[in-house]
């Protein structure tokens, strides 16, 4: 699974806009900082037919009625991208030996050995499904995170084929465009099944991103809960103060009552004492409730805060492509000094060498870190047996 996003620069924006407009049949007259664009009547687009000018600048100067800005944030570009993104989400291509350069494994490219002849013999065809998934992670305390991830699965084994993803992303980069469409289709059911597997695979692989945000969100919830706890503590001590004040007042009233003789005055004091007592009891009940909640850890509030901070992760397939590739054997000759060796390895077009090659002395796998040395026709690892001979 690979990050499929582009770093959006002005030049990428211009490159895409030009290619897309031209594919719609529009003509562009480049006048330096401005492009004069003509849109034909029958163009299959939401852009109005006729002529307008694209200004390649982000300066917020006044525009004439027939002028539009062209930069990464401009409305025109946003609308253009939105239209194109929805146009043909399903595609296909072939990666046969004729279309793809031979990929020499790193244990050779990183070595001092020279590559002589190479020849690939395809034995059977394979197909991979490459999907772009939009992963959106939402929570209240963070900006929404949106990722675009590409993943390829071999349709027969359902195993990920990362090399195919790389090839696909390379071919769909700006300046790409060498897509050879394939013909046969897969049943919707089969595609549905593969997409489900791919979606799960994406979830697994995007898990570290989710975990990071999850952690931050949990911390944010915890801080909020802590704030709430502090607030309630404060509330409890305020109530306690208020209760004590009312207690004192009740005692005062009791004393007053004892010193009051007149009936009417006594009634008034009694009324006031009753009022105070009611208020006192009411606050007592409140504070007891709060204390109970505190002891239990404010379960309701906790639940409410945690629910609000919970993460919503959505994984949505945005496009898919079927890629045919070939598997077979690669015959490759390497030379170093006066030594030369020709050997066969399992190979896939667009995938590269698919079998591990080992040091002929100690059996360690050859890799970019343990690149090949060739001596007297033997291939061995520079890292594991470099001092040999």
H/E element holding 209? helix 188-259
Specify the residue, 23 or 284, whose C-beta has the smaller distance to another protein. Answer: 23
Q: 32-61: which residues touch another protein (CB under 8 A)?
A: 32-33, 58-60
Q: 289-318: which residues touch another protein (CB under 8 A)?
A: 306-307, 309-318
Q: How far is CA 181 from the centre of its chain?
A: 28
Residue with tokens 């911390």: 219
In contact, 372 and 144? CB cutoff 8 Å = no
Residue from 2, 203, 232, 275 in contact with another protein (CB under 8 A):
203
Binding mask 235-274 for another protein (x = CB under 8 A): ----------------------------------------
Closest approach of Cβ 294 to another protein, in Å?
Answer: 17
Q: 64-103: which residues touch another protein (CB under 8 A)?
A: 72-73, 80-92
Q: 327-386: which residues touch another protein (CB under 8 A)?
A: none
For 76, residues 6+ apart whose C-beta sits below 8 A from its C-beta are 54, 68, 69, 70
| 161 interacts with another protein by CB under 8 A | no
> Both tokens of residue 72?
């990464």
Q: 165-194: which residues touch another protein (CB under 8 A)?
A: 172-174, 176-177, 179, 181, 185, 188, 191-192
Burial class (CB in 10 A: 0-12, 13-18, 19+), 211: exposed
First-last CA distance in the chain: 42
SS3 364: coil
Q: 112-151: which residues touch another protein (CB under 8 A)?
A: 132, 134, 139, 146-148
For 79, residues 6+ apart whose C-beta sits below 8 A from its C-beta are 46
Closest approach of Cβ 348 to another protein, in Å?
Answer: 22
Residue from 16, 76, 228, 298 in contact with another protein (CB under 8 A):
16
Give 356's DSSP letter: -
Rounded distance between C-alpha atoms, residue 50 and residue 52, angstroms: 7
Specify the residue, 223 or 285, whose C-beta has the smaller distance to another protein. Answer: 223
- Cα-based angle 245, 247, 248 (whole degrees, multiple of 5): 65
Number of residues located near another protein, criterion CB under 8 A: 79
| 323 interacts with another protein by CB under 8 A | no
């Amino acid at each position: 699974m690979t990050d499929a996003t582009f770093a959006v620069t002005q030049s990428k924006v211009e490159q895409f806009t030009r290619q897309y407009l031209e594919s719609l049949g529009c003509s562009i007259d480049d006048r330096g900082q401005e492009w004069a664009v003509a849109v034909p009547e029958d163009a299959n687009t939401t852009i109005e037919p006729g002529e307008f000018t694209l200004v390649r600048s982000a300066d917020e100067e006044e525009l004439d009625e027939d002028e539009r800005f062209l930069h990464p944030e401009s409305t025109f570009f946003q609308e253009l991208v939105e239209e194109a993104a929805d146009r043909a989400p399903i595609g296909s291509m072939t990666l046969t030996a004729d279309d793809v350069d031979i990929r020499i494994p790193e244990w050779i490219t990183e070595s001092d050995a020279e590559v002589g002849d190479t020849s690939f013999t395809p034995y059977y065809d394979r197909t991979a499904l490459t999907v772009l998934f939009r992963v959106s992670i939402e929570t209240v305390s963070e900006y929404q995170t949106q990722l675009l991830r590409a993943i390829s699965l071999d349709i027969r084994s359902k195993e990920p084929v990362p090399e195919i993803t790389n090839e696909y992303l390379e071919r769909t980069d700006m300046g790409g465009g060498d897509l050879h469409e394939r013909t046969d289709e897969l049943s919707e059911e089969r595609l549905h099944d593969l997409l489900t597997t791919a979606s799960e695979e994406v979830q697994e692989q995007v898990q570290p991103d989710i975990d990071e945000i999850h952690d931050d969100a949990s911390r944010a919830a915890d801080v909020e809960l802590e704030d709430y706890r502090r607030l309630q503590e404060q509330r409890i001590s305020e109530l306690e103060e208020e209760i004590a004040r009312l207690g004192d007042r009740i005692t005062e009233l009791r004393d007053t009552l004892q010193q009051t003789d007149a009936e009417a005055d006594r009634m008034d004091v009694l009324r006031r004492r009753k009022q105070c007592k009611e208020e006192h009891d009411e606050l007592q009940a409140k504070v007891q409730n709060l204390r109970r909640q505190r002891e239990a850890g404010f379960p309701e509030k906790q639940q409410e805060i945690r629910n609000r901070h919970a993460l919503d992760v959505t994984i949505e397939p945005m496009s898919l492509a079927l890629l045919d590739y070939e598997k077979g054997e690669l015959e490759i000759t390497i030379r170093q000094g006066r030594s030369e060796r020709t050997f066969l390895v399992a190979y896939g077009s667009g995938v590269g060498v698919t079998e591990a090659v080992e040091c002929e002395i100690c059996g360690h796998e050859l890799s970019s870190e343990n690149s090949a040395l060739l001596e007297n026709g033997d291939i061995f690892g520079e890292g594991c047996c470099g001092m040999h001979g």
